[in-house]
Every structure is written in C-alpha cells, then in structure tokens.
Structure 1
Amino acid sequence: MRTLRKGFRFYGKIYNHPVAMEKSVQSLHQLSAKHRIFLALPAMVLGIGFFAFILVEGLILYYSQVDQQVHLGIGIAGISYTLMLLYFLPLLDRFKSLQWWASILNGAILAFYTIITPLPSLATSAMLAAIIITIAAIISGRWSAYLFAFVHIACLQVFALPATIFQSSYIQNAGIILFATIIITETVVRLRAVIDLQMQRLETINRVSQRISSSLDNAEVIDIVKESIQEALDADTYFLGILSPGKDMIRLELLYDEGQFFPAKDYPLGNGPGSWVVRNRKSLITGDIEDAVEKYDFHVETIGKDKSSNSWLGTPLIAGNEVLGAVAVASYEFNAFDDGDLQLLESVAKQAAMALDHAIQHGAVEEQSRRDSLTGAYNHRHYLQLLDEHIRAANDSDTNLAVIMLDIDHFKRYNDTFGHQVGDQVLVELCQTINEHIKRTDVLGRWGGEEFSLILPEVTGEQALRIAERIRKTLNNTEFATVDGKTVPAPTISQGIAMFPKEGQNGQELIHLADQRLYRAKARGRNQIAPSLSHWQELFGKTAKIDVSEEASLLD
C-alpha cells in the first residue's frame, strides 16, 4: 500500500501540480523520432510478425483460392504498411497533422480487415488493435490513440450491416477496443512522462556540469543553481546558503519564495532542517514538515514570506571533507518531492560545491596577489583600481569620498636605530590600527615603503579628519619592543586628506592633493593632519559634534 501511495503521489506530481503539468505537456514531444522508433520497435516487429504469419498461413494451408489470395494480400499489405510507417516516421514528427490522418487511416484499415478476413476473431482483431494503439500512443500521444479507437469502432458499423450494432460480437469487439485503448494508452503516456522527466533531469545535470565546471565566480555558480532548480523542480521556495568561516552562521546568498527573490542575509545556524543537513552532512527529504519536526525535534523558523512550507528537500554542499553550506527546496504542497528530485538536487549540489570550492580557492589566490605580503594592505596597483571604482560609485550615487595619504615620520632613522624587525613590526601594527578604525567598505593600500593610503566612501571631510586623528592617537599609545625585549618609543605619523568631488574629480587629482597636504603636515612639525578642522567646517559646514579634548588637536 505504501508503494501504491507513492505511485499515486508521483502521478499527481506530474499531472496535478500546475508547473509540473505544464512541463509534462511540453515534454510529450521531447523524445526524438529516433527515440520513439526505438520505443515503438517491439510493437512494430510484432505487427510485422503477425502479418508474416498470415502470409505464411496463406501459402501453406489449404484454403480456397479466394481465401488464399486474401491471406496473401493482407500479409503483404500489412508488412508493407508497417515498414512504410517505420520509414516515414520522421515526416510524422515534422508534420503533426499527418499523425491524426495516420490514426484515422489505421482505424479504418483495421475495421476493414475485421470485416473481410475469412476467419475473423476477437483475439486477432484485439491483438492488431493493441499493436496499433501502442504504436500510436508512443509516436503521437494520447489523443491519436483515442482517435484510432473511435474511428475503428465507427468504421466497423459503416462497413458492416447497420443492424449489427446491437449484436454481441460487435459490442464485444467495441468493448475490447475501448478497454485496450484506455489501458495501453494511459500506461504508455505515463511511461513516456516518466522517461521525459528522467531525461529532463539528466539534461539538467549535464548542463549544470558543463556550465559550472568552467566557472570561478560564486555569483555565477549560484545563478546556475537557481536556473537548474527553476527548470527541473516544482518548488515554491528554495535557498542556497554558505557557511561563515566560524561555522556558526549561514549566509543565504540565494533565497526565493513564491515569485520573489530576497536579498542575501546572515542567519544563525540554529536547529532547523537546513542546520540539520549541515551538521549531519547528509540529505533530508520530508513530505510533511510537521512529521519531521516531531521526529528530529526541529525548531522551524520562517524565512522569506510569512508562510510555512509542507514539503522540504535539502542537501549539504560538501567539497572534499569540508561542508561549505546547503541548498534546499520547499513546497506548500504535501509530498511534493520524490527520490528522483533528491538525486537531482544532490547531483546539482555536488557540482555546485566543487565549483564554489574552486571559486573560493581561486578568489583566495587572487586576493593574495592583490595584497602586500607583510602588512595585508592592498598593493599599489590594486589600490588604484579600487580608487577608480569607488570614485565612479560615488559619482553615480552623488556622495562624498575621502582619500588619506599617510606616512610614518623618520621611518628610515627609526629602522636604522632599532632594526628591521622592529620596523616591520611597526608597519604591521600600523595597518592593524588603521583596520580597527575603518569600516569593511573602506580601503587600505600600501602606496610604497612606509607610505599608505586610505579610501573612505560616504564621509565628510570632518569625519575623515576624526578617523585620521583616532589612528594617530592609537599609534602614539602603542608599545613596541626590540628582539631583546627593550621598549622603544612609538613612531609618529603625518597625514593629508583630500575630498571628492569638492577638491578633485579623479584619483590622480585626489592623490596629488592629499600627498601635498601630507608634506605640509610634515613641514609643520610632523605627527599632524592637514588640513585642519576649520578647513572642513568651512567647506562642508559644521556637521558633527567634536569632543573638546579632541577638537584642540584638530585645530591649527
């Protein structure tokens, strides 16, 4: 009974769900003419064998001359007609109207044979009908087979005497034809739907494999997964999540729910089915989420739209021995997914995990090539690329952008006095200090030697000045020591600031102006920032409160 219920759910999935029904209807003609010939070949061979038997029977048995000629004629005509149908099948595939005419012709021919054959019987007529119905259902689909049955029964009445419509032989023949048509046609159509569905899944996996193998971009991989789910699975909602480095958060890079895509967002790795899939490193499928809640003690939280799913299917993204995240689909229908859907999702997830792992490794190598090996700041070349990108973004959004040029005062003397190891320590500590005072969207680059540069999007000159002052004070209070443990004085830094768009329209102008102001700060005694607070308040107006103790250090 359980297997029977699964079967009904599968057919319901194909024919009752709107999306699946549409795919199934479209898939009825997905099989190529070559594939349909292959499927119909046993029925055609049986048909040829049947007519060959009639031909041989006419040759060796002692019928009357007329009966013998009828047998020979039917045998030769039947074999010829079947071979002709086999030969011209590609034409039926190209011209759909010919399929209907073939059904009408087959129905009339079988009725004519039933009337004129010397030894007509329900068995021979039914066997021929079964062969033709099978071929029609495979080649042309459901309605061609039903058209054949209707024409055949109608022609039996036309070719025979009108009074025979009430005779038992006619009623039996008609009943057998109708019964055989329904059973054979519906079985064949469902088998074709299953075959088409499996072909569609295999084609999806193949396309994903081909596209994803050449991708080294996370966004492209996620887009391929999205397209494969939309194409092959009847899901109301789906997501793809990537684990954080600490494995305690999952970022839903892709979240779709009933016609709407949601922005990427971080979620704690809780006690839901997605978290279970990640922690247990295996797939989960359920046709009733409430049963799964009781079985696994899930705590289900609604994400996306405020509506609970009833079916859920998910699998982890595993590359090597590392779990990268999870991909899942859900439906508001009960029992919406089957083992075939699970196999498809697992195949897509396997390909996606390998591609994401390659993309992460490639991205790490690329990122490393953009960074200074000692300090971790962006190198000179990449910094300039980022500066151009940020200037274009600021111009498009009509926002400000600050560039700070920063240099360690008397660094060569400091390096010569305390050693290169202490000098390297100062450079590393300086960058760590800077990163503590800037946002993730800000950019730190090593301009060269002991000189660094900052990009601060969406700030005023006064805000940039306050950030620069905090960096200066923090570095002044940092303790440094030589290899033998002796404390050395903290170095000082000088800084120059320039603002887009008020003081420069491109990166070259901003760098040049900030560099000039850096050397102005050095000329004024070093350990300073130029220009002062009054300049920015005059340029932008007084936009923020400044502590009295801080304001004194920012004035001329």
Structure 2
Amino acid sequence: MRFSGKQTRTILKPAYLAAVGILGLASMVNTLPQTLGEFDRMGVWGFLVFMAMGILSEWANVPLARGAMSLSFAVVLPTFVLYGPGAAAAVEVVGYLIGTAGDNRGWRVKLFNSGQYALTVFIASLAFQAAGGTRSLSLGLSQLIAIAIFTVVYFAVNHALVGLWFTLYNPEESALVIWGEPAKWEGLTYLITAPLGLAVVTIYSVGGLMAAAALFIVSFVAALIFRLAFRLDHLNQELRTLYESAQALGQGLDLAAVEEKVLDIVGRLAPYDLVSLFLWDNVGQVLRAVSGLPKGNDLEGRHFRLGEGLIGEVADRRTVEVVQHPEGGTPSAGESGWQALPSKVIAPMATEEGLVGVLVLGSSHPGCYTEEHVRLLTIFASQAGAALSRALRYQETRQMAITDSKTGVYNYRFFYERLIDEIRRHEARDKPFSLIFVDVDYLKGINDRFGHQIGDEVLIQIATLIKENVRTTDEVARYGGEEFVVLLPGAGGDEALAVGERIRRSVEAHDFSSSLAYGPARVTVTAGVATYPEHATQPDELIFRADEAMYSGKHRGRNRVSLYTGVTALPESGPA
C-alpha cells in the first residue's frame, strides 16, 4: 500500500512527537542512579535551588512567534557542570512543565518538549566529553572550549528537533520562517545565557550557592524588566496599528475599498492561512461571504443564516468564538476545508443599529491565536463593523440616487452619464457601442383596463426580463413612462439587433397573468437600435436615432425590433 505525502505526514507527526518524548524521558530514567549519586556528593539542597531557578527562568521568558527567549540555559549549564546531565535534564524538564502549566499546549507537545530538552542535554553532554571536558569548577581554556562545544551542540540539537517538528506540521511554510528566523533569536539567547551560566559557575566556586543564586535573581529581575519593556513596546505597536486602522477605515466610503482595507489590516493584527469577510444581507436574512484570502478558498460564495453552523452561531450571539486544537492535536473526524484548520477565530462585526457581518480567520498552526490576538481582533471587528456600515449606507444611498424606484433598474440621469462616459471611452479605444430603445406596446390600454397598479407590475416584470437577456456589462435604465433604454458597450448594430430580438421574444413568451391577481396574459414591446459612431456621434443624437428606429417599428405593426436607417431633424440637446 502506498501512502500520499499528506497521509505519511499524518502518521509521522504523532509518531515523531511520541518517539522524541519517550526517548528523552527514558534517557533521564536511565541516568537516575548516576544523578542520585551526584546528590549524595553535592547535596540535594543545591539541586533544589537550581530547580527553583529553572522554574523562574520559564516565568521570565519573552514569547516570540516561534518559541521564546528564556534564561533557562543559564541554569542548565551550571547544573550540568555541578550535577551532571541527568540533573541538568531534570531542571530543564521540570522547569518547563511547571512554568507552562497554565497554557493550552496539549499533552503530546509537552511530552515532546520534555523529551527533546532531555535528549538535547544528553547529546550535548556526549559532545562535551568528546571535547575533553570535565565537570570541574576550574574554567581553564580546555574546559571553556568544551563548554563552548556543549553550548553549540545544545543549540543545534534543540533547533533541529523543534525545526523538524514545525516542518512536519507546516510543510507549506518556508525554510526561512521555520529555520532562519528562530535560529536568529535562539542564537541571540545563547550568546546572552551561556556567559551568564559561566558567571554562575564562577560565582558558585568563589562565593557558594547563595552567591550564585543572588546573581541569578539579579538576572531574573533584569529579564522581567526586559519582558515588561518588550510587552509595553508590543502594546504600543498594537495601539499604533489599531489607531492607523481606524484612520484608514474612516477615510473611505467605497465598499470594495473598505473590504480590501479590512483584509489588509487583519494580516497585521494576527496570522492566518485563511480569512473571510461575511456581510449581513438584510433582505435575504443571511450572511454572505463577500471577500477573502486566498482567492478560491472554500468559504468563498458561502452563506449562512443566523444560528447556522459556527459562523451563524457567532453572528446570532454577537460574541467572539475561538476554536483551538492544542499543539499536536488533530481536528475532529469529519471536519474538512476551513473547519479542519486547527486554529480559528470568528469575530462578529456590529454597530448600535445591528449586525454588520462576521470576520473569520483560520490558521494551520495549532494553538496559533493568543489572548492578545483575540483582544486585538475583537477591537478591530468593532472598527471594521462601523466602517463597513458607513460604506454600506453610502452605497445604498448612492444606489437609490441612480435607481428607478419603481422598476429597480437605473434611472435616466445615471444612464445619460454612462452614455457620455462610453463616448469618451470610444474615443480612447475606438470601439463601437449600441443603444436599444424599448417601448411597451399598449401600456395605456393596460392602465385604463386593469389600473395603474397592474401597469406598474407589468413594467417591473419587463424590466426584469430585459436584465435577464443582456450581458452583465450592459446597462439597463428606465427612460420614462413605458420606455426603457439598454446601453451595450462594444456591440455593433447586428449584435445589438440580436439582443433586442432576444428581449422582444422573451417578453412576448412571458405569461404576465401567472404572477398577477388579474391582468393581461400577454404583453409585447417594440425596440429600436442605433450604433455609435455609425448612426450618431453625440449622446442626444444617438438616443433620438434609437427612438426613431423604435417608432419605425411601431408604424410597421409593433412587436418588432428595427435598426436605424435614414436622416431626421434632431431635437434640442440635454437630458430629460
């Protein structure tokens, strides 16, 4: 049986975690008699002090995107010199387990980290012995060289074991992110902690255990101050990002531009492999995915009702939801696509007026989203909700200004502006375009017989039929009364004539009475076609030519489409 790369990784990931964890802890158990012998020689009290120092070093670490900067090696190194590799591994492992007792890492990851810390100490110890090092408080040149080799091997093994784990869990990640960036920060950490560990050994040899502990306490306080400064700088960057995001979102009213800004800013607040923006459709009463990254993600085009699925539930409750499989954990059976991502944040966007939408982030990194990420995304979701709400109101207002309230198509004023724009575009690209003028046959008779309400319903249905029979790039507008116009960019006379004929046949075949309590069963239209620049070079002239072609069809019996021919005096210019 052959396994795919994904299936192989699925098997290797837990196997690797377990193998490293078990092998490392087994090595600790194997060296236990030797370690107990060192306690008899050096005293348990000193070991317990170093154990406490190991725990404190974990509490003073500075978290990074991959791992953390910690004082732990400054404790491991003197413990190794004084008590041997078994005790050094115990200090590292116990310090890690107690120091991280309150986080959300799974037991598999804690087993792996415990094992890899122990393995790292034992492998570095072998290199130390091979270099001629001895566990002596005398720090001669040969001993310093051996300690330097111990440090380099410790760094290399630790980096390799953790890097291989990240590679298995994130095969799509670049080598720079997995190996390069962490190596830079870890290297800086060892450049600081290795000399500090040597200083602890020196102070211990001169002033004893309490003097060494005092030096560590000073270093611990300095690390706490650095951690606080780092934290304050991080908070300052967060506040600056939120301020800049509020400024950026407050400057635009174009909905598409605001959506793009929201996705751009989210990437600066939290990592993601997938982000999707849902907006609330008040008419359809659903949340619709309007934009997202990467393009073509499995949330694209999806919609959810309130309470439907995780996204609908978040929108209904209006509270942020964080879903995190612990590091080393796996998604539930049956989950796929975005649901299978081990880390997800779903944040509602709302204003005092109501729900605006939902922001969805997902990451392939287990345990990716920290409390800081969630806090920032919660604040930003409120900002984004307000900006999107303004853009939506602006779009609705603008749409009302350019839309015919009765039929839902564009009004004449907007159409006239588009016609002028199309003429300018033709001058730049030298492409023709055509105009169809559509008139409903005998609408006055329908109004007189059935009432204006039925006549209005007929106009609405005809407007819908026209839109269904043109391209998405074509513009449909109500000219006035029972007349409609259609602008067809890039279409010549023959093509426009075919479109007009398609509209005519669609209207003729439509059963209007099926959706009316009473009224006409059949209605027809007459249409005229004119092409720019073949028939006219000015907007009013083109409208007049199409209108004249339409009236030509009226004179010939109605329910037909005609292409403009002939020369006629023109009316005065200007929109109606």
Find the aligned partners of 1:264 and 1:392 in 2 and give their Cα distance.
39
Partner of 1:232: 269
Match of 1:286 among 323, 327, 331: 323
Q: How does 1:270-349 map to 2 (within 5 A)?
A: 273-274=310-311, 276-278=313-315, 280-288=317-325, 293-294=331-332, 299-302=335-338, 309-320=341-352, 322-349=354-381
Q: Match for residue 529 of structure 1?
A: 561
Residue 16 (structure 1) aligned with residue 66 (structure 2): yes
CA deviation digits over 1:93-132, x for unaligned, max 9? xxxxxxxxxxxxxxxxxxxxxxxxxxxxxxxxxxxxxxxx
Partner of 1:87: none
Q: Which TM-score applies when normalising by structure 2?
A: 0.54
Q: Which amino acid aligns with 2:415?
A: Y
Question: CA, structure 1 residues 219+173, in 2 after alignment: closer, same or farther (shift >3 Å)?
Answer: same
2:475 matched residue in structure 1:
443
Change (3 A) 1:321 1:424: closer
Partner in structure 1 of residue 284 of structure 2: 246
User: Are residues 1:209 and 2:268 paired?
Assistant: no
Cα pair distance change 1:180/1:249, threshold 3 Å: closer
- Say whether residues 1:350 and 2:388 are aligned partners: no
Alignment of 1:44-443 (within 5 A): 168=206, 175=212, 178-244=215-281, 245-247=283-285, 250-256=288-294, 265-269=300-304, 273-274=310-311, 276-278=313-315, 280-288=317-325, 293-294=331-332, 299-302=335-338, 309-320=341-352, 322-389=354-421, 401-409=433-441, 411=443, 420-443=452-475
- Contact 2:287–2:357, Cα closer than 8 Å, also in 1: no
CA change 1:453–1:180 in 2 (3 A) is same
Please state how far the C-alpha of 1:298 moved relative to its aligned partner: 7.0
Q: How far did residue 381 of structure 1 move?
A: 1.0
Deviations along 1:322-375, one digit per CA (max 9) or x if unpaired, are: 544321223332222111211111111112122222322222222112122222
Whether the 8 Å CA contact 2:527–2:549 is kept in 1: the answer is yes
Name the structure 2 match of 1:133. Answer: none
Gap runs ≥5 in structure 2: 1-53, 70-187, 566-576
> Could you tell me whether the CA contact under 8 Å between 1:405 and 1:515 is conserved in 2?
yes
Tell me how far apart the structure 2 counterparts of residues 468 and 264 of structure 1 sit (CA, whole Å). Answer: 38
Does the aligned pair in 1 maintain the 2:203–2:211 contact within 8 Å? no
Q: Percent identity?
A: 26
Q: CA RMSD in A?
A: 4.8
| Residue 495 of structure 1: how far off its partner (Å) | 0.9
Match of 1:468 among 500, 520, 524: 500
Q: Does the 8 A contact of 1:284 with 1:315 survive in 2?
A: yes
Are the aligned partners of 1:312 and 1:328 in contact in 2 as well (CA < 8 Å)? yes
What TM-score do the two structures reach when normalised by structure 1?
A: 0.55
| Paired residue type of 1:242 | L
- Greater Rg over alpha carbons, structure: 1
Q: CA deviation at 1:529?
A: 0.9
- Is residue 513 of structure 1 aligned with residue 549 of structure 2? no
SS in structure 1 at match of 2:336: coil
Match of 1:496?
528
Q: How far apart are the structure 2 equivalents of 1:377 and 1:167? A: 89
User: Does structure 1 retain, via aligned residues, the 8 Å contact 2:276–2:299?
Assistant: no
The alpha-carbon distance between structure 1 residues 509 and 313, as it changes in their structure 2 partners (threshold 3 A), is: same
- Does the 8 Å CA contact 1:441/1:457 hold for their aligned counterparts? yes
Partner of 1:494, secondary structure, is strand
For residues 411 and 227 of structure 1, do their structure 2 counterparts lie closer, same or farther at Cα, with a shift above 3 Å needed? closer
Provide closer, same or farther for how the CA distance between residues 312 and 531 of structure 1 changes in structure 2, counting only shifts above 3 A. Answer: same
- Indicate how the Cα distance of structure 1 residues 177 and 461 shifts in structure 2: closer, same or farther if over 3 A, else same: farther
CA gap 1:229/1:486 in 2 versus in 1, 3 angstroms: closer
The amino acid of 2:278's aligned partner reads G
String of CA shifts for 1:441-484, please: whole Å, max 9, x gaps. 43221223332101234656555434423433444466779xx9
Q: State the AA in 2 paired with 1:496.
A: G
Unaligned runs of 5+ in 1: 22-141, 154-163, 535-556
Query: How far apart are the structure 1 equivalents of 2:518 and 2:345?
Result: 62
Distance 1:433 1:228 in 2: 42
SS in 1 for 2:301: strand
Q: CA deviation at 1:248?
A: 5.2
Instruction: Please tell me the residue identity of whatever aligns with 2:289.
Output: R
Match of 2:32 in 1: none
Distance 1:410 1:267, change over 3 A: closer
CA 1:376–1:351 in structure 2 vs 1: closer, same or farther (change >3 Å)? same
Q: Answer with 366-375 or 427-436: which moved more.
A: 427-436
Deviations 1:511-551 (A, max 9, x none): 3432232232233333321129x9xxxxxxxxxxxxxxxxx
